Amino acid sequence: MVELTIGTDPQTLVSQAVAKVRHPGLNRLLASFMQEPEIREVMLCMPTSSSDSDALSAPRESPSRSTAPIWTIQRLRRAAELAQYLCAFGCEEREVLYVATLLQGCQPLLNHGLQSTASQQDVLRTLVRKSLQQLEERYPRQAWLLRQAMGWGLEDEVDDFYVPRLQQSVQRSLSLVVEPPTGLKLPDSSSGAANPCEFWH
């Protein structure tokens, strides 16, 4: 199935990205997150192109593609879908990784250009805390997976195989699809990331 997004307004793109999540708890968490004023400002700002150096940019865009504006949510959704593709586990993990990548991909954009004593990670945690607590009450397995994928789990919960690979799927997909704004680093990104590549739909 091919989904056409050219000329689609960003709010519709956000709704489409949220609608891809079938799990009710994860869908509710992501929908609530996308309604936060700080996130709406990021998602509904002016579209970026490959020539913008201070915003998200997609590497190796062809001239025909780079002339069309690309919204932040489009880039983040591509990364989230790539995280699902890179996942070596089952459907449960893939859906969590989709959500985790969308959340984590917003972190470098929070407070960008603003003076604030709070770190971007602190802001992200604050925005998602209430919804994550609600998810934990009804769907503890999904909440646990999301915490691990985001790197928010306890030290004694991290094993040598399962949790690191969840986190690597998120980090790698963001490093391949999304470039952080100048002077910012993606959270917990690996220095050994592969060269950027396209992930178009």
**pLDDT by residue (tens digit) across 4-50?**
556 678 899 999 999 999 999 999 999 999 999 989 988 877 655 44
In a domain, 170, yes or no: yes
Residue 110 has pLDDT above 80, yes or no: yes
Structural domain including 86 reads 9-42+71-112+140-184
Residue 99 has pLDDT above 70, yes or no: yes
Using a pLDDT cut of 90, give the percent of the chain over it: 50
The number of distinct structural domains making up the chain is 1
Rounded Cα distance between 189 and 76, Å, is 15
Q: Tell me the whole-structure pTM to 2 decimals.
A: 0.75
Partners of 48 in the β-ladder: 70
| DSSP single-letter state for residue 146 | H
For the stretch 113-144, pLDDT in tens is 455 566 888 889 999 999 999 999 999 999 99
In a domain, 35, yes or no: yes
In a domain, 77, yes or no: yes
Rounded Cα distance between 128 and 137, Å, is 14
The encoded tokens of residue 127 equal 């925005």
The encoded tokens of residue 170 equal 């998120």
Using a pLDDT cut of 70, give the percent of the chain over it: 69
| DSSP single-letter state for residue 157 | G
